[in-house]
């Protein structure tokens, strides 16, 4: 077994020297927006090479290794500071644990219960990370989110507690700021790699199948912007490409996230559909938005954002139409996003408040 692991690691090291995306890898995605872009990226990164669950221990030695050779655990690491503890590959694998710092295990950052333990996502390295077993156990299968009052805090500052992110108030886990973008781009990958391949997924308070719920998408887009792609992610993307032969497009092109899910994605593109009629527009405060389908046919989620992509507390009510009240908001440009539960189709409108 030791000979096999050594040979495998040598092979991966050689492959990493030529692990950038092949020429033209994303050519078919140029000029696309929204679901057309998501579908095209899905087609590019689909049918990856699937590894076994046991092999993840070996894979982590190339995908998640610090410069000092130790395990890169985002639940214990403190960039620019001293981590409270570090793990050695192999010898510190879990096993049993009773406290933080005992051992590291294989965390499904997108909890496996959300996709009903199905394959190939069960061993997809783009959402699997080596993390402290005790912290992983405390996170459990709770969504990521912004914590208000923490019930528990890890030694590197990750938190568990009640969510204060607009749109959800349950228990969430909040990683430190330095790694929020990493997890956001992992989630964008999952929503794209398994787009229309999520039949039977149980879902969660954060997801519908492989797609993020509106509150979670807003938050993840913010995390994607606030924590840009790091060298760690670039090297990890290359390492996984050498193993799975697919890439995370949102590390190579973080702008793809806004192009698919952003509030103004494709609004200027004449080929982009899903536009909502709004009137009066411009408005002094109250605005009516036409439903794109018969009332009662869907159970839509409606969110309102500023031009900077920040959600606002606009009053929204449903009748035969959507009534939006911006009386308490400053003058400016706002975007309305409507997502229909049944088919996850996304509709947009731009409103100008005078």
**Cβ pair 51, 123 in contact under 8 A:** yes
Query: Which neighbouring-strand residues pair with 300?
Result: 340
Task: Give the residue ranges of DSSP H helices in 180-230.
Answer: 180-193, 214-226
Task: Give the number of other CB atoms < 10 A from CB of residue 207.
Answer: 23
Pairing state of beta strands 159-163 and 128-132? unpaired
Nearest to 312 by CA among 332, 334, 331: 334
Nearest one of 328, 332, 326, 336 to 290, comparing CA atoms: 336
pLDDT at position 239, please?
97
Determine phi and psi for 280, rounding to 5 degrees: -65, 150
Angle formed by the axes of helices 180-193 and 214-226, to 10°? 130
Determine the Cα–Cα distance for residues 68 and 215; give it in Å rounded to an integer: 38
- Report the candidate in 345, 320, 352 with the shortest Cα–Cα distance to residue 214: 345
Strands (E), the chain: 104-108, 128-132, 147-153, 159-163, 171-174, 207-208, 211-212, 278-279, 286-289, 300-306, 315-318, 322-325, 332-340, 346-353
SS3 45: helix
- Domains (range + CATH), the chain: 2-134+178-261 (no CATH), 278-353 (2.60.40.1220)
The DSSP symbol for 325 reads E
d(CA 213, CA 352): 26
Q: What is the pLDDT along the chain (354 residues), one digit of tens a residue?
A: 333 333 333 333 333 434 578 899 999 999 899 999 999 999 999 999 999 999 999 999 999 999 999 999 999 999 999 999 999 999 999 999 999 999 999 999 999 999 999 999 999 999 999 999 999 999 999 999 999 999 999 999 999 999 999 889 999 999 999 999 999 999 999 999 999 999 999 999 999 999 999 999 999 999 999 899 999 999 999 999 999 999 999 999 999 998 998 865 655 443 334 677 788 888 888 888 877 766 555 567 788 877 666 777 777 777 677 888 888 888 877 888 777 655 556 777 778 887
Task: Kindly report the pTM of this predicted structure.
Answer: 0.74
User: Contact at 8 Å (CB) between 58 and 9?
Assistant: yes
């Amino acid at each position: 077994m030791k000979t096999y692991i050594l040979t495998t690691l040598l092979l991966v090291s050689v492959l990493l020297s030529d692990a950038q995306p092949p020429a033209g890898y994303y050519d078919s995605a140029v000029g696309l927006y929204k679901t057309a872009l998501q579908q095209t990226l899905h087609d590019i990164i689909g049918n990856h090479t699937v590894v076994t669950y046991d092999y993840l221990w070996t894979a982590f030695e190339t995908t998640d290794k610090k410069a000092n050779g130790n395990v890169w655990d985002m639940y214990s690491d403190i960039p620019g500071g001293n981590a409270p503890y570090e793990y050695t590959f192999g010898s510190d694998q879990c096993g049993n644990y009773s406290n933080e710092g005992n051992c590291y295990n294989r965390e499904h950052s997108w909890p496996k219960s959300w996709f009903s333990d199905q394959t190939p996502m069960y061993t997809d390295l783009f959402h699997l990370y080596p993390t402290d077993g005790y912290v992983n156990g405390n996170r459990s299968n709770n969504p990521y989110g912004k914590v208000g009052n923490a019930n528990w805090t890890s030694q590197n500052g990750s938190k568990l507690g009640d969510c204060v992110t607009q749109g959800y108030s349950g228990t969430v886990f909040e990683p430190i700021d330095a790694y929020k973008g990493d997890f956001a781009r992992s989630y964008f990958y999952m929503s794209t790699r398994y787009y229309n391949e999520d039949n039977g997924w149980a879902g969660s308070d954060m997801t519908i199948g492989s797609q993020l719920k509106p509150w979670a998408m807003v938050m993840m887009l913010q995390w994607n912007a606030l924590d840009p792609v790091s060298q760690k992610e670039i090297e990890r993307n290359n390492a996984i490409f050498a193993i799975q032969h697919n890439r995370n497009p949102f590390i190579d092109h973080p702008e793809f996230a806004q192009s698919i899910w952003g509030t103004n994605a494709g609004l200027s593109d004449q080929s982009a559909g899903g536009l909502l009629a709004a009137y009066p527009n411009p408005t002094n405060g109250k605005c009516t938005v036409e439903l794109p389908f018969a009332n009662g046919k869907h159970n839509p989620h409606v969110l309102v954002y500023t031009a900077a992509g920040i959600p606002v507390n606009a009053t929204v009510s449903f009748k035969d139409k959507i009534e939006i009240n911006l009386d308490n908001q400053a003058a400016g440009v706002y975007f309305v996003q409507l997502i229909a539960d049944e088919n996850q189709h996304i509709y947009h409108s731009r409103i100008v408040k005078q």
